[in-house]
């Protein structure tokens, strides 16, 4: 069959016939050609098919535009909003419970992570003595006051405390060692802290401080619960221990659910 590739004039005729813009006479002539000339007929159907193909492109373009309009005119898309509105109450309840659990869990996680330093601050605080009118401030108290008021750094404070010699009159040296032990704890220098606690040994309650200091050191260094429990035991076994209450609190903390989960 001889297919005709339509020229511009024939394409105009096809358009006119297809859109019904031909007069009756031309329309009849055109219909006659369609019926009698297979090549012409094939060519016209090629034209119709080309319109059909372009219609696919038009549909695809319109679909893409509607997706764009959906985003622009219907923020979030009606479908999204619809889906949210149609969530059953149980899904909302589950989502709320999950959110609560996550928030609570996160708070507990932060609490577990910050506990070593928080516990040192709570159970082995570094505080200067408050002077009353007429009291003479000691050199040691001045050093500690500078530290707590942040006039001196931790390292500067340790250096100053180390200058207080054993031969210093009174118990300044032992008190200095006690402070040193607490500062070493904050630095995570457990061996130094233990030695300093030992040197403060003649002070009242120094043994108790050394024992709680050992517990705090193990926590600070991230030791296992079993090791920390081992250090807590001598304190828990003595109800009159100065740090018995602190030991019970620490015991509850490190043997609790959140500590087990996050450590």
Partner 1 sequence: MAKETDEELVNMIKSGGPAREKALHRIYTDSNIREKIIAMITNNNGNQQDGEDMVQEAIIVMDKNIREGRYRTEGNLQSYLFAIGKYLWMNQLRKKKPMLKGSFSDLEMTGDPDEPDHFLLDEERKMKLQAILSRLGNRCQEILSLWQLSFSMEEIAAQLKLNDASTARKAKYDCQQQLIKLIQKSSLTKSDLT
Summarize as ranges the residues that interact with partner 1 (CB under 8 A). Answer: 3, 5-8, 11, 41-43, 45-59, 61-63, 65-67, 69-70, 73-74, 77-79, 82-83, 86
Give the integer Cα–Cα distance in Å for 241 and 67.
Answer: 73
Evaluated on CA atoms 216, 220, 223, 225, the torsion sign reads: positive
- Nearest distance, CB of residue 83 and partner 1, angstroms: 5
CB of 94 to partner 1, least distance (A): 20
How far is CA 113 from its chain centroid?
14
User: Residue 168, class by beta-carbon neighbours within 10 Å (0-12 exposed, 13-18 middle, 19+ buried)?
Assistant: middle
Q: Which is nearer to partner 1, 18 or 110 (CB)?
A: 18
The 10 Å Cβ neighbour count of residue 118 is: 12
**Complex with partner 1: residue 53 or 191, whichever CB lies closer:** 53
Q: Report the residue number, 43 or 200, with the smaller CB distance to partner 1.
A: 43
Minimum distance from CB of 253 to partner 1 (Å)? 49
Q: Cα dist. 83→36, 45, 70, 91 in Å?
A: 59, 46, 15, 12
- Report in angstroms how near the CB of residue 91 gets to partner 1 at its nearest: 15
Q: How far apart are CA 232 and CA 84, in angstroms?
A: 53
**Which is nearer to partner 1, 27 or 242 (by Cβ)?**
27
Nearer to partner 1 among residue 79 and residue 153 (C-beta): 79
Residue whose tokens read 């577990």: 112
Query: Minimum CB separation from partner 1 for residue 38, in Å?
Result: 9
Return d(Cα 134, Cα 120) in angstroms, integer.
33
Return the number of the residue (1 or 191) whose C-beta is nearest partner 1. 1
CB-based contacts of 145, cutoff 8 Å, min separation 6: 128, 137, 151
CB of 40 vs partner 1, minimal distance in Å: 12
């Amino acid at each position: 069959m001889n297919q005709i590739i339509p020229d511009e004039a024939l394409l105009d005729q096809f358009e006119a016939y297809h859109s019904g813009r031909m007069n009756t006479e031309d329309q009849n002539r055109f219909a006659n050609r369609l019926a009698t000339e297979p090549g012409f007929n094939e060519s016209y159907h090629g034209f119709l098919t080309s319109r059909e193909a372009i219609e696919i492109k038009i549909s695809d373009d319109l679909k893409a535009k509607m997706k764009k309009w959906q985003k622009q005119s219907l923020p979030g898309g009606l479908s999204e909003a619809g889906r949210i509105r149609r969530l059953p109450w149980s899904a909302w309840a589950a989502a709320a419970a999950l959110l609560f659990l996550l928030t609570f869990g996160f708070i507990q996680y932060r609490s577990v992570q910050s506990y070593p330093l928080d516990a040192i601050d709570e159970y082995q605080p570094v505080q200067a003595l408050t002077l009353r009118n007429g009291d003479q401030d000691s050199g040691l108290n001045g050093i500690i006051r500078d530290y707590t008021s942040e006039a001196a750094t931790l390292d500067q404070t340790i250096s100053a405390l180390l200058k207080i010699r054993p031969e210093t009159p009174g118990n300044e040296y032992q008190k200095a060692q006690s402070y040193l032990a607490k500062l070493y704890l904050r630095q995570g220098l457990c061996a130094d802290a233990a030695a300093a606690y030992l040197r403060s040994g003649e002070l009242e309650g120094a043994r108790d401080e050394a024992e709680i200091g050992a517990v705090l050191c193990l926590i600070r260094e991230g030791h296992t619960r079993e090791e920390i429990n081992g250090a807590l035991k001598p304190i828990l076994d003595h109800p009159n221990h100065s740090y018995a209450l602190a030991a019970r609190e620490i015991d509850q903390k490190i043997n609790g659910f959140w500590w087990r989960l996050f450590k």
